[in-house]
Structure 1
């Protein structure tokens, strides 16, 4: 869980605030399953989109959110996530490219994983236990984030979204069926429009 009292690491500045909470786009929607357009214009509209993503991420109690998860065909994600030591890092990444360990440095973590666009369901998903992401920030300047634990998983998961991949695509059939059963059982807890509310300012 995120410790709201803890001051996070924000190497490129704080997350944009003042956004609107939007409905979560679900798996099966076309925008979730195709590569997204690279960001080429860094303007107020992009910052406003990032602010909406941040507001929606927090409203859904998530640790990361990609633009496609609120229906936007934009290669960008935001995150507020802790690493193995419990240290929180926050950031915005446009046009992300992930780098993963290889050879003897590659160790898999098979912790459970979930997705706000398939809410309520969690199953084990093996991923490298360390990841680094390079991209650009909201001002078009280079950004770099890296880490282990949940942060490593988050950076991989969100970069996948910008490529049109959901983590269910990485699961064997048996695990995906288990995920589907969990999701269907809890669907009433996440009605259409979730997590948007009347108090939609963050």
Structure 2
């Protein structure tokens, strides 16, 4: 595993729509392992591949590791299939925009369809901080930064 360099605001890769993952191979597994290592080192709760310079539709999330046992989640080619109409306003930070926080309104729940490292499809519904983190990382895959979706605090 390796800690990769996090890309910061101003890097063009962060504004690209990420391409779908097509090869479910050892290089994808290495990327994901490195992303977890980078996220934990930063320390963050989520990290999208564009944030380490790879324009592919993959992100990792672990919202519990700072307070409890780690619960790492991998999302390859994620698709938001439904979301709550009700939104909640919260404060978010981004590893690609250090030392700043933003107020962002996010759905209180989100339903997702995604693939795992073997290419198998899964579906799930996420609430609370998981939903917030998933929406934040999904935005990165769409080339959106928190500066475009939130208000500087």
Same fold (TM over 0.5): yes
SS at match of 1:127: strand
- Find out whether 1:30 has 2:9 as its counterpart: no
Verify: 1:57 aligned to 2:36, yes or no.
no
Query: Radius of gyration: which is bigger?
Result: 1
User: CA offset at residue 88 of structure 1?
Assistant: 6.5
1:90 is displaced (CA, Å) by 2.4
Shift of 1:25: 0.4
Question: Over aligned residues, Cα RMSD in angstroms?
Answer: 1.8
- Kindly indicate whether residue 121 of structure 2 is the aligned counterpart of residue 153 of structure 1: no
SS of 2:74's partner is strand
Give deviations 1:65-114, integer Å, cap 9, x for gaps. 000111111110011114xxx89742111111113435xxx221101011
Retained in 2: the 8 A contact 1:133–1:155?
no
Deviating beyond 2 angstroms after TM superposition, the runs of 4 or more aligned structure 1 residues are: 86-90, 99-102, 143-146
CA distance in 1, matches of 2:88, 2:71: 20
How far apart are the structure 2 equivalents of 1:53 and 1:44?
A: 14
Q: How many residues are paired up?
A: 150
For structure 1, the residue ranges without an aligned partner over 5 or more in a row are 1-18, 179-202
Question: Does 2:76 match 1:94?
Answer: yes
What TM-score comes out, normalization by structure 2 length? 0.90
- Secondary structure of residue in 2 paired with 1:37: coil
In structure 1, how many angstroms separate the alpha carbons of the residues matched to 2:39 and 2:109? 23
The answer as to whether partners of 1:98 and 1:155 remain within 8 angstroms in 2 is no
Q: Is the 8 A contact 2:83 2:111 kept in 1?
A: no
The equivalent residue for 2:87 is 108
**Distance in 2, Cα, partners of 1:114 & 1:164:** 16
Determine which structure has the larger strand proportion and give its number. Answer: 2
| Cα separation, partners in 2 of 1:125 and 1:39, compared to 1, 3 Å | same
Cα gap change, 1:101/1:45 in structure 2, threshold over 3 Å: closer, same or farther? closer
Structure 2 residue 67 is the aligned partner of structure 1 residue 66: no
What's the TM-score, normalizing by structure 1? Answer: 0.69
* 2:106 pairs with 1:132: no
Deviation of the 1:143 alpha carbon? 2.3
